[in-house]
């Protein structure tokens, strides 16, 4: 009987695509190690998260809390959602999640933005508002954060999509058209219609 965890078993369905975080690397023993257990991946996430957590705390301490409302945490979570949406869309449009793209995703996406954003502080601040007697604000604050965060993430995705298309169009035409040049508007409309 094999007492090894599932991560050491061979792929039983090689015809199916792998999750990018389960991409296997062969070890000297012939067994495979998934991405999320590789020391280099872990170090990238830890390094990014450590720095960003400090930055988040400094921002939180620097901004006032008018009426007890944790505006700093709201702004941190919304800006993080926007940046994460843009980052992941930009990386996905540039190719498969491997090599440098994977390292950037782990360092910036999981590490930096994972340490920068904070849903634990959102939960704690919401509880403080609720227990402090402001039930309406205690309920609206997390709800608004989640809804606005989803919209910010969508905004980041759309922004990255637009930037990547513009960069690709500029690169494929040999010379970038300025937004006001003849044909630029028609090209953008044609791209949007094709999306």
* Known binding-site residue numbers: 114, 117
Orientation angle between helical segments 71-94 and 119-131, nearest 10 degrees: 150
Among candidate residues 93, 61, 56, 62, the one with its CA nearest the CA of residue 78 = 56
Cα dihedral sign, 125-128-133-139: positive
- The β-bridge partners of 24 are 34
Q: Annotated binding site for Na(+), which residues?
A: 114, 117
Element (H, E) at 139: helix 135-173
Q: Give Cα separations from 136 to 67, 140, 143 (angstroms).
A: 13, 6, 11
Q: Which two tokens stand for residue 136?
A: 């309406």
């Amino acid at each position: 009987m094999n007492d090894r965890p599932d991560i050491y078993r061979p792929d039983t369905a090689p015809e199916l695509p792998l999750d990018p975080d389960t991409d296997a690397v062969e070890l000297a023993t012939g067994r495979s190690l998934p991405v999320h257990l590789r020391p280099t991946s872990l170090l990238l996430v830890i390094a990014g998260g450590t720095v960003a957590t400090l930055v988040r705390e400094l921002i939180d301490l620097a901004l006032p809390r008018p009426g007890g409302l944790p505006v700093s945490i709201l702004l941190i979570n919304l800006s993080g959602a926007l940046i994460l949406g843009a980052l992941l869309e930009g990386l996905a449009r540039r190719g498969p999640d491997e090599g440098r793209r994977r390292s950037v995703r782990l360092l910036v996406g999981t590490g930096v933005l994972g340490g920068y954003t904070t849903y634990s502080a959102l939960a704690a601040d919401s509880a403080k508002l609720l227990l402090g007697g402001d039930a309406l604000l205690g309920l609206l604050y997390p709800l608004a954060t989640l809804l606005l965060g989803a919209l910010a993430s969508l905004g980041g995705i759309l922004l990255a999509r637009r930037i990547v298309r513009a960069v690709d169009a500029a690169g494929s035409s040999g010379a970038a058209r300025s937004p006001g040049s003849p044909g630029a508007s028609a090209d953008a409309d044609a791209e949007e219609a094709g999306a």
